[in-house]
C-alpha cells in the first residue's frame, strides 16, 4: 500500500500531462528541467505512476459527502435532516448549475477520464514490460477506471461529452458536441470487455481492480443500459457477466458470505473482522492505516452525515457529543425515510431478516453514568418508576483486536442486559406504557412519523408529543469500532462493488431477458436466506410467482441501502417518478419534475469555459 501511494505521488508530480498541449509547451519553454510526458510515461516506473493516478479521483467520492447526495438522495430511502443538501434530497430551487456537489462530481469524473485517456495513449509506446500481455494487464486498470467514471457521468448528466483524448497530447475543445447516451454505453461496455479480458485474476495490492471487478461492473452497466432500449440484448449481457462470477467464485477469488446458526451472512459482510480481507467485495476503496491515502487520514466520513443528534437530547440520557464510535454529531444531513424503515425493512422485533440491525445503529449506549431525574422523566413522558434509575456508562479503553489508536469507546463495559442503553430507535412500534417504563429514551416509528403523510412529524402539529426530530436510526455500514480513528475519520475499506449485488443484478436480468422467474427467485433467495441465521432461513424464501422488477427493486433497497446506487436503480426501473416518490417519500416528490430531474445541471464553470454554451445547454436548469 505504501508503494502504491508513493507511485501515485510520482504521477501527480507529472501533472503537466493533464493540461492542454499549449499549456505544456509554455511549461517546457520556461522550465528547461521539465521532463516531457513522453519521457515520464515512456518507461515502466513513470507509466505505473500514471496508472496509480487513475484511482485518485475515486477517493474523493466514496467516504466523502459529495457522492452521497447524487447517488442515494431524492429517492424512496432517505430524506434531509433539516434542509441540508436540499437540491439533491428535495429537488428544490437550489439545484442549479452552481450547486457545489454538481461541480465536484463533474470535475472528478472528467479528471479521472483524462488520466485514463493519457494512460491508454501512452500504453502504445511504453517500454520496460516483458510482453504485450503485461502492458495490457496494466492498461486494463485505466480502461476499467474510465468505464467507472463515464458510467457515473452519463447516468448523472446524460448526453454530455464523451472524451477519449488525453489533454497531454490534445488541445482543449472549446466547442464541445454532446454525445448520445447510447454511444457512451458502447464505449463503457467496450472498455469493460477489455478489462475482463486483460486484468489479472488477482492483484497484490488491495484496491487495485482485478477481473472480478470488471465482470461485476460490466453486469451492472449492462443492466443499467436496458433503460435505453434493446432490453433483451443488454439483459442477456448482464446475466452472462453475473453468472460468470456466480458460477465461478473460486476462479475469481471471491465468495459470498453465508450464514451459520448464530450469525447471518449479511452481518459478516460488514463485520470489522472481515473488512480488510473481504471475500465479497469485488472492488474496494482500500484505506491505508498509516495515512498513505489521498487526503491522508481524512477518510471514511460517510457515517457522520447520517448521524442522529447525540449531542442534543441524547445527552439527557448519557450519550456523548464527541463519540469516536458513533461519529461526529454536528454535521448530520440525512435520515432514513419511513418507507425504508417500516415498509422495505420488516418492522417486527422478531423478524428473521437481520439487515435492518446491520445497516443501522439503533441502540446507542451511554458514555458515562446518567441518573434519570424527575425533570427528565417529565420532559420525556417517563413513568415515575424510572426516576432515580441510572443508565450505566459504557466507555472504556478499546479491548478488541487490531486497535489503530489508543482511545476510549462506548460499548466496552456494562453491556449485560443493556444496562448502559441510552437511546433505543427500533423500526418496530412499542406500546406507550412499555416505553414509559424503560429507562432509555425510546423513539419508535410512531414517535417519528406523521401517520397522515408518512413524513417526519412537524412537531408544531403534535404539541403533546416529545420533539424527537433529531433522533433516528443512524446508517452504519461504513463504520465500526476497529477502524474508527476519531469522531470524523474511519479507516476501514469501502466496498464499491460486491458479489451480493451481482446476485440481484442476475435476478433482474433474468426477468428482463426472458421473464425467467424461477432463475430470478433462485438468485433472490440466496440473498434473502443469508440475511437470516440458518435456523430461520426458510422464513425468508420467496416464490417464482413473486418475482417482478419491483420486488427486486425492494430487495435491492433492503440489501444495498446507502451503497451509492439507489438513484440510478429508480431511474433504471422507471420508479424515479413523482407518483412513486409521492407514495414513498413525499418530501422528495413536491418539487420533482421529470422534464429535468432525471439529469443534473451542467456546472456553470464548464459552461463559462466553452464558446457554444447556448447550444450545449444546461439540461433544462
Structure confidence by residue, pLDDT tens digits, 523-565: 999 999 999 999 999 999 999 999 999 999 999 999 999 999 9
**Lowest-confidence pick of 328-337, 346-355, 399-408, 480-489:** 399-408
Neighbours of 389 (CB within 10 A): 13
Across the chain, what does the average pLDDT equal? 94
What's the pLDDT score for residue 18?
32
Which of 516, 567, 571 is closest to 544 using CA atoms? 516
More confident residue, 164 or 26: 164
Spatial neighbors of 192 by CB under 8 A, at least 6 apart, are 143, 144, 147, 214, 217, 218, 221
Q: Kindly indicate the confidence band of residue 403, based on its pLDDT and cuts at 50, 70 and 90.
A: confident
What's the pLDDT score for residue 35?
60
Q: Kindly indicate the confidence band of residue 47, based on its pLDDT and cuts at 50, 70 and 90.
A: very high
Q: How far does CA 12 lie from the centroid of its chain?
A: 26
What's the pLDDT score for residue 276?
97
8 A C-beta contact, residue 62 and residue 71: no
What's the pLDDT score for residue 250?
99
The residue whose grid cell reads 476503496 is 285
Give, as one character, the DSSP assignment of residue 549: H
Over residues 84-111, the mean pLDDT reads 98
8 A C-beta contact, residue 396 and residue 483: no
pLDDT at 343 over 70: yes
CA distance 13 to 29: 18
Q: Which three cell numbers stand for residue 45?
A: 516506473
pLDDT at 9 over 70: no
If you compute the radius of gyration of the chain from its CA atoms, what whole number of angstroms results?
Answer: 25
What's the pLDDT score for residue 31?
35
CA distance 522 to 514: 15
Neighbours of 176 (CB within 10 A): 19
Enumerate the CATH 1.25.40.900 domain ranges in the chain, comma separated: 210-271+496-576
Spatial neighbors of 242 by CB under 8 A, at least 6 apart, are 215, 219, 502, 503, 505, 506, 509
Q: Give 480-537 pLDDT, tens digit per residue.
A: 999 999 999 999 999 999 999 999 999 999 999 999 999 999 999 999 999 999 999 9
CATH domain 1-69+96-169+186-204+594-621 topology:
1.25.40
Enumerate the CATH 1.25.40.890 domain ranges in the chain, comma separated: 1-69+96-169+186-204+594-621
The residue whose grid cell reads 431525574 is 373
Spatial neighbors of 258 by CB under 8 A, at least 6 apart, are 265, 530
CA distance 530 to 259: 5
Q: Does domain 210-271+496-576 have CATH number 1.25.40.900?
A: yes
pLDDT at 192 over 70: yes
CA distance 548 to 515: 9
Which of 3, 135, 118, 125 is closest to 54 using CA atoms? 118
pLDDT at 52 over 90: yes
8 A C-beta contact, residue 282 and residue 212: yes
CA distance 175 to 392: 66
Task: Say what percent of the chain tops pLDDT 70.
Answer: 94
What's the pLDDT score for residue 38?
87
Over residues 328-357, the mean pLDDT reads 97
Amino acid at each position: 500500500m505504501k508503494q502504491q501511494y508513493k507511485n501515485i505521488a510520482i504521477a501527480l508530480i507529472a501533472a503537466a500531462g493533464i493540461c492542454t498541449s499549449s499549456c505544456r509547451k509554455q511549461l517546457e519553454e520556461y522550465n528547461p528541467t521539465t521532463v516531457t510526458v513522453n519521457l515520464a510515461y515512456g518507461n515502466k516506473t513513470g507509466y505505473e505512476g500514471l496508472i496509480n493516478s487513475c484511482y485518485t479521483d475515486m477517493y474523493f467520492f466514496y467516504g466523502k459527502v459529495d457522492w452521497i447526495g447524487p447517488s442515494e438522495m431524492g429517492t424512496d430511502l432517505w430524506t434531509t435532516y433539516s434542509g441540508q443538501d436540499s437540491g439533491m434530497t428535495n429537488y428544490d430551487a437550489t439545484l442549479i448549475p452552481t450547486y457545489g456537489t454538481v461541480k465536484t462530481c463533474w470535475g472528478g469524473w472528467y479528471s479521472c477520464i483524462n488520466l485514463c485517456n493519457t494512460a491508454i495513449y501512452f500504453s502504445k509506446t511504453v517500454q520496460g514490460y516483458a510482453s504485450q500481455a503485461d502492458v495490457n494487464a496494466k492498461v486494463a486498470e485505466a480502461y476499467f477506471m474510465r468505464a467507472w467514471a463515464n458510467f457515473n457521468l452519463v447516468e448523472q448528466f446524460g448526453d454530455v461529452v464523451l472524451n477519449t483524448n488525453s489533454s497531454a497530447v490534445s488541445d482543449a475543445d472549446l466547442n464541445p458536441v454532446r454525445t448520445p447516451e447510447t454511444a457512451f454505453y458502447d464505449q463503457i461496455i467496450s472498455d469493460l470487455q477489455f478489462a475482463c479480458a486483460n486484468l489479472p485474476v488477482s492483484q497484490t495490492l488491495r484496491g487495485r481492480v482485478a477481473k472480478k471487478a470488471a465482470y461485476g461492473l460490466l453486469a451492472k452497466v449492462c443492466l443499467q443500459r436496458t433503460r435505453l432500449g434493446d432490453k433483451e440484448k443488454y439483459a442477456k449481457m448482464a446475466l452472462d457477466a453475473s453468472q460468470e462470477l456466480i458460477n465461478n467464485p473460486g476462479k475469481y477469488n471471491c465468495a459470498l458470505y453465508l450464514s451459520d446458526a448464530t450469525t447471518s451472512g449479511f452481518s459478516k459482510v460488514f463485520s470489522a473482522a472481515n473488512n480488510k480481507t473481504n471475500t465479497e467485495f469485488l472492488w474496494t476503496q482500500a484505506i491505508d492505516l498509516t495515512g498513505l491515502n489521498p487526503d491522508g487520514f481524512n477518510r471514511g466520513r460517510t457515517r457522520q452525515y447520517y448521524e442522529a443528534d447525540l449531542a442534543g437530547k441524547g445527552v439527557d440520557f448519557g450519550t456523548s457529543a464527541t463519540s469516536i464510535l458513533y461519529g461526529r454529531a454536528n454535521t448530520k444531513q440525512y435520515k432514513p425515510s419511513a418507507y425504508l424503515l417500516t415498509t422495505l425493512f420488516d418492522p417486527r422485533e422478531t423478524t428473521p431478516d437481520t439487515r435492518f440491525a446491520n445497516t443501522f445503529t439503533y441502540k446507542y449506549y451511554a458514555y458515562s453514568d446518567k441518573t434519570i431525574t424527575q425533570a427528565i422523566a417529565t420532559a420525556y413522558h417517563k413513568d415515575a418508576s424510572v426516576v432515580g434509575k441510572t443508565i450505566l456508562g459504557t466507555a472504556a479503553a478499546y479491548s478488541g483486536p487490531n486497535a489503530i489508536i489508543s482511545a476510549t469507546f462506548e460499548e466496552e463495559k456494562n453491556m449485560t442486559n443493556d444496562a448502559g442503553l441510552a437511546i433505543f430507535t427500533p423500526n418496530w412500534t412499542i406500546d406507550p406504557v412499555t416505553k414509559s417504563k424503560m429507562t432509555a429514551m425510546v423513539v419508535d416509528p410512531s414517535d417519528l412519523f406523521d401517520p397522515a403523510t408518512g413524513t417526519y412529524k412537524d412537531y408544531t402539529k403534535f404539541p403533546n408529543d416529545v420533539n424527537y426530530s433529531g433522533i433516528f436510526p443512524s446508517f452504519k455500514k461504513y463504520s465500526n469500532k476497529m477502524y474508527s480513528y476519531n469522531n470524523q475519520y474511519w479507516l476501514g475499506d469501502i466496498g464499491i462493488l460486491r458479489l451480493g449485488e451481482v446476485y440481484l443484478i442476475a435476478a433482474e436480468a433474468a426477468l428482463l431477458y426472458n421473464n425467467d422467474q424461477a432463475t430470478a427467485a433462485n438468485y433472490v433467495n440466496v440473498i434473502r436466506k443469508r440475511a437470516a441465521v440458518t435456523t430461520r432461513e426458510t422464513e425468508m424464501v420467496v416464490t417464482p410467482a413473486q418475482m417482478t422488477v419491483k420486488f427486486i427493486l425492494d430487495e435491492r433497497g433492503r440489501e444495498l441501502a446507502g451503497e451509492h446506487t439507489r438513484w440510478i436503480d429508480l431511474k433504471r426501473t422507471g420508479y424515479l417518478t413523482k407518483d412513486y416518490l409521492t407514495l414513498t417519500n413525499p418530501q422528495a416528490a413536491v418539487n420533482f419534475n421529470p422534464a429535468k430531474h432525471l439529469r443534473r445541471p451542467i456546472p456553470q464553470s464548464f459552461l463559462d469555459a466553452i464558446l457554444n454554451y447556448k447550444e450545449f445547454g444546461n439540461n433544462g436548469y
